[in-house]
Amino acid sequence: MRRKTIRPSLRLALTVSSALALAACATTPSAGDSATPATQAQVPADIGTFFEHYNEAQLALSPQTKAYRGIRDEDYGQWNERSKAADEARDALRDQWLKRMRSGYDLASLSPEDQLSYRLFEATATRSASLDPFQDYGWFFDQMNGEQSGIPAFLINTHAVQNVDHARDYISRIEGIEPLLDTLIARSAERANDGVMPPDWVYPYVLSDIRNMLDAGLDNAVLEDFRSEVNELDISETERAALVADADAAWRTHAAPAYSRLLAEMERQQTMAPDEDGIWRFEDGAAYYDALLEYYTTTQLSADEIHNIGLREVDRIQGEMRAIMQQVGFEGTLQEFFEFTRSDPQFYHTSREDYLAEVDEVMSAMEARLPEYFITLPEYELQVKPVEAFREQSAGKAFYQSPATDGSRPGTYYVNLYDLNSMSRNELEALAYHEGVPGHHLQRGIQTGLGDLPPFRRYGGFTAYTEGWGLYSEELGKDMGFYTDPYSDFGRLQMELWRAARLVVDTGLHHKRWSREEAIAYLQENTPNPEGDIRKAIERYAVYPGQATAYMIGKLKIMELRERAREAFGEDFDIRQFHELVLANGPVPLSILEEQVDNWIAEES
């Protein structure tokens, strides 16, 4: 498995996928395009062919998904259609294919693998449909997944330029920013007028992102990337200059005016934005939050149950932290130990280069040990990359982007080094295991490489499974003998505590009607994270309701199932086989994962 780290002193590689959020909006067809050949003909005898046809129907309606997967065809210069009619057509397409599958195939007569695909397609479609009643409750511009930064991130990280035609497609997409943003501006304004908008404190982040693009003029991040891309092409200087001139003109004539209109609309909304943080304030906010919790956790746990699980886990993890506090000889309360690890300079790097160098060391040591714990390993390169400057102020502290199927884009661990005082060295090891290996890169690299599975299984996912695996991977590092520094082990617990506390504050914000300040105070009292880290996290949970609860719920289930198998097999328990079982089918709901483990135990016992 190849890996590279991109230093901030070098030019950033700009061929990585932009955001996981693209997958959520990547199947939006244009109005009137919902009819497809599969809705007009009998289903094929082979359900695998049915799923291939569904994939083709989705891709035909989603230029951005094609680019994300490394498909560069006649749609390469287009954006997804983002109108309300397109959303409705996308939903109709999903429902049509689900209906056809149910009527066209007898589940009992399918092979075991096809039965699983049937059930997962059904689960994916019904899970998506569960949020249909609440589609008007989302927003298009926020600090987490907002299109003000998502659009340039897509161009920079997903639109690869391998020839002149690709460069022309890039220019076409720059031109297309105008109608795309205008559509989203109009929809955002309509929702804001109905009272659906993020809290007031979100707008400075959004406005900062917009101004970063506008104030840079023709030296903005998009055009800088374009020039770098065309500089790599084997073309004449005259042709290169013409491409750059056309890109500049496209930005000046189309993109910049649209960004200016977006700026004006966000300034308008800022004057009327609410100061309440939770989605309970919406008319059907309680039902919306319940639907989100089920969507993300793939369980039917109530908000109160999740809240109480969080309180229980916070208490357990803090007990383990006290043991480390005694190990290092610290005298004082746990909160005083929190303050020590939060504020002492020894726990923070002073340069981005030093942080990335330590990540290199951690990943190298882990990669060498993977064969002892895993049968299948990812074939794709892992690269570590700082978040780009144009969005680092608003982006999260770390995230992962999947590789392209053909290997043209590596899997990427993004680390946000904007504020090194929010990136504790204590957490560095666990964070690398979560985002890199054996976490997201291993799991999603394996998933992407499962070429015999239907595309919706290779590219889709369930948050509780994916993020549960990431959190599980942090503790697996402990089982493998890492975290030899007690402060690094404390950082592992710190990150697990963070995910347990999320259960408390997410449900606090959106169910118990806590204010942002109440949620911040809870984390300040119960976690060792720095204040900036805490504020950014609470701001994330406020605009991304429910998502953060999936991590701990998923991890607890994976741990429960592992211990169930260990108890059943005794000395014959093979952790490599357990990991293969969990990973080999790609993401599944937690209930199906439990079923798979129970079947394995029954068959092998």
Instruction: Give the model confidence (pLDDT) of 163-191 as tens digits.
Output: 999 999 999 999 999 999 999 999 999 99
How high is the pLDDT of residue 588? 98
Q: By 3-state DSSP, what share of the chain in percent is helix, strand and coil, each rounded to 5?
A: 65, 5, 30
How high is the pLDDT of residue 41? 55
Residue 27 has pLDDT above 50, yes or no: no
Residue 31 has pLDDT above 80, yes or no: no
From the number of C-beta atoms within 10 Å of its C-beta (0-12, 13-18, 19+), residue 233 rates as middle
- Residue 1 pLDDT class (50, 70, 90 cuts): low
Three-state SS across 545-560? CCHHHHHHHHHHHHHH
Rounded to 5 degrees, what are φ and ψ at 587?
-65, 140
**Cα Rg of the chain (Å, integer):** 24
What are the CA-CA distances from residue 335 to residues 208, 524, 526, 533 (Å)?
35, 9, 8, 17
Contact 507, 542 (CB under 8 A): no
What are the CA-CA distances from residue 166 to residues 71, 159, 236, 250 (Å)?
11, 8, 16, 15
Residue 255 has pLDDT above 80, yes or no: yes
Residue 530 has pLDDT above 90, yes or no: no
- pLDDT averaged over the chain? 92
Residues whose CB falls within 8 Å of the CB of residue 387, separated by 6 or more in sequence, listed in order: 395, 414, 415, 416, 417, 418
Contact 112, 364 (CB under 8 A): no
- Residue 390 pLDDT class (50, 70, 90 cuts): confident
Q: pLDDT tens, 312-359?
A: 999 999 999 999 999 999 999 999 999 999 999 999 999 999 999 999
- Residue 605 pLDDT class (50, 70, 90 cuts): confident
How high is the pLDDT of residue 42? 79
Indicate the residue type of 405.
T
With CA atoms as reference, report the closest residue to 89 among 25, 31, 27: 31
H or E element at residue 136 = none
- Residue 494 pLDDT class (50, 70, 90 cuts): very high
Query: Cβ–Cβ contacts within 10 Å for residue 488, how many?
Result: 20
Q: How far apart are CA 224 and CA 198, in angstroms?
A: 31
Q: What average pLDDT does this structure show over 419-433? A: 95
3-state secondary structure of 415: strand
Residue 23 has pLDDT above 70, yes or no: no
H or E element at residue 299 = none
Q: How far apart are CA 378 and CA 448, in angstroms?
A: 9
- Which of 14-23, 89-98, 568-577 comes out lowest in average pLDDT? 14-23
How high is the pLDDT of residue 422? 87
Q: pLDDT tens, 545-586?
A: 999 999 999 999 999 999 999 999 999 999 999 999 999 999
Pairing of strands 382-386, 411-415: parallel
Q: How far apart are CA 244 and CA 224, in angstroms?
A: 10
- Residue 151 pLDDT class (50, 70, 90 cuts): very high
Predicted TM-score (pTM) of this structure: 0.89
Q: What average pLDDT does this structure show over 279-297? A: 97
Contact 441, 411 (CB under 8 A): yes
- Spatial strand order of the sheet with 3-5 comes to 3-5, 382-386, 411-415, 398-401
Residue 28 has pLDDT above 70, yes or no: no
Residue 14 has pLDDT above 80, yes or no: no
How high is the pLDDT of residue 406? 83
- Which of 180-189, 388-397, 449-458 comes out lowest in average pLDDT? 388-397
3-state secondary structure of 539: helix
**How many residues does this entry show for the chain?**
605
Q: pLDDT tens, 210-222?
A: 999 999 999 999 9
Instruction: Kindly tell me the sign of the dihedral angle through the C-alpha atoms of 105, 110, 115, 121.
Output: negative
Contact 111, 139 (CB under 8 A): no
With CA atoms as reference, report the closest residue to 553 among 201, 296, 254, 203: 296
Q: How far apart are CA 176 and CA 150, in angstroms?
A: 14
CA 292 to chain centre: 16
Tokens of 386: 């700082």
Contact 494, 426 (CB under 8 A): yes
Strand partners, 502: none
